[in-house]
Amino acid sequence: MTDVPLPVARTVAELRTTVGEWRRQGFTVGLVPTMGALHEGHLTLVREAKRRADKVFASVFVNPTQFAAHEDLGTYPRREAEDAALLAQAGCDLLFAPSVEQMYPEGFAARVEIGGPSAGLETDFRPHFFGGVATVVTKLLNQARADVAVFGEKDYQQLMVVRRLARDLDIPTEIVGAPTERDGWGLALSSRNAYLSDDDLQIARRLNGVLAEAALKAAANEPPADVEAEASSALLAAGFERVDYVAVRSADLGPYEVGAPGRILAAAWLGQTRLIDNMAV
Ligand code: PAF
């Protein structure tokens, strides 16, 4: 497709220079925020952004403020050269790869906290998470004022939080959700799948089937609490070591009502690896 290396901006000033030039030429701008270790799911987001905007930049930044001290910040996979090659092939126009010092300079003291969709689910188990995500996403949206930003539905609660953030803080960027990419067995693609042993991978591939079955039961009017308990048991029986939650909710993460659009969401552990997934009910 292309042999030309992808241009890289490492500072906000460099990013604004390139995006400003695009604007002067009359182009619309799309953003795909990522933490790198890119897979086909991320590339789908880039292609979606490219359908919606003339020029697209992807950020690759392993954001320390969304990791707790005991989490995998230090071991999170980092492979910028491979990421840049994949982004270029997917049609991305610029990689924004800032340092931690660039994003959080000495004396940085802001934190964006979003209520509403942040409550429960991930927050019950990772209370620091959405504050860190909201802070870095607010910065990314402000740094280059993209017309559109694309996020994966795999992190469904995150997508809801980002939508609320843009709405409540009057950030005019359109927030777009893109469907989850799955492997041939239905496992949602995730950078953390790389941590799984072959045996754990087989177990991980049962997650989406358990959720699909539970979604059918919820849609058939089985009480959400029963559906959630049965699905948790099924995950443990499949070999997951611990289930943080299985939750049946409305599509906007309120209480589920039969007949209205719903979502089933889950987080479960295999060894040191925490997997999340969700699907429509
Ligand atoms: O989904 C992710 O990869 C991250 O949470 C995001 C949105 C890039 C913020 O760091």
- Tokens 């930049």 belong to residue: 57
Give the model confidence (pLDDT) of 11-66 as tens digits: 999 999 999 999 999 999 999 999 999 999 999 999 999 999 999 999 999 999 99
Ligand 1 atom nearest residue 162's Cα: 7
Q: Considering only CA atoms, which residue is closest to atom 3 of ligand 1?
A: 34
Q: What span, in angstroms and rounded, lies between the C-alpha atoms of 126 and 142?
A: 25
The pTM is what? 0.96
CATH superfamily for domain 8-178: HUPs (3.40.50.620)
**Whether 57 contacts 19, CB under 8 Å:** yes
Q: Which two tokens stand for residue 95?
A: 């990689």
Per-residue pLDDT, 3: 66
Ligand 1 centre and the CA of 35: distance in Å? Answer: 6
Ligand 1 atom nearest residue 34's Cα: 8
Q: What angle do CA 222, 189, 37 make, to 5 degrees?
A: 145
Regarding the domain delimited by 191-280, which CATH topology (the fold level of the hierarchy) does it fall under? Pantoate--beta-alanine Ligase; Chain: A,domain 2 (3.30.1300)
Question: Largest Cα–Cα distance in the chain?
Answer: 58
Give the model confidence (pLDDT) of 68-93 as tens digits: 999 999 999 999 999 999 999 999 99
- pLDDT surpassing 70 at residue 181: yes
Q: What span, in angstroms and rounded, lies between the C-alpha atoms of 224 and 117?
A: 19
Query: Using a 6 Å CB cutoff, which residues line ligand 1?
Result: 33-35, 63, 66, 133, 136-137, 155, 158
Per-residue pLDDT, 235: 98
Active site residue 42: yes
- pLDDT surpassing 80 at residue 279: yes
Ligand 1 centre and the CA of 233: distance in Å? Answer: 30
Give me the phi and psi of 66, to 5 degrees please: -105, 5
Q: What span, in angstroms and rounded, lies between the C-alpha atoms of 189 and 204?
A: 11
Going by their DSSP bridges, the two strands 262-270 and 273-280 should be labelled as antiparallel
Give the model confidence (pLDDT) of 237-275 as tens digits: 999 999 999 999 999 999 999 999 999 999 999 999 999
| Residue extents of the structural domains in the chain | 8-178, 191-280
Give the model confidence (pLDDT) of 135-160 as tens digits: 999 999 999 999 999 999 999 999 99
- pLDDT surpassing 60 at residue 121: yes
**Whether 275 contacts 180, CB under 8 Å:** no
- pLDDT surpassing 90 at residue 1: no
Spatial neighbors of 202 by CB under 8 A, at least 6 apart, are: none
Catalytic residue, chosen from 39, 42, 70, 128, is 42
Ligand 1 centre and the CA of 34: distance in Å? Answer: 5
- pLDDT surpassing 60 at residue 7: yes
Ligand 1 centre and the CA of 33: distance in Å? Answer: 6
Ligand 1 atom nearest residue 155's Cα: 1
Ligand 1 atom nearest residue 152's Cα: 1
Per-residue pLDDT, 4: 74
Mean pLDDT (the chain, rounded):
97
Query: What integer is the mean pLDDT of 3-8?
Result: 87
Ligand 1 centre and the CA of 189: distance in Å? Answer: 14
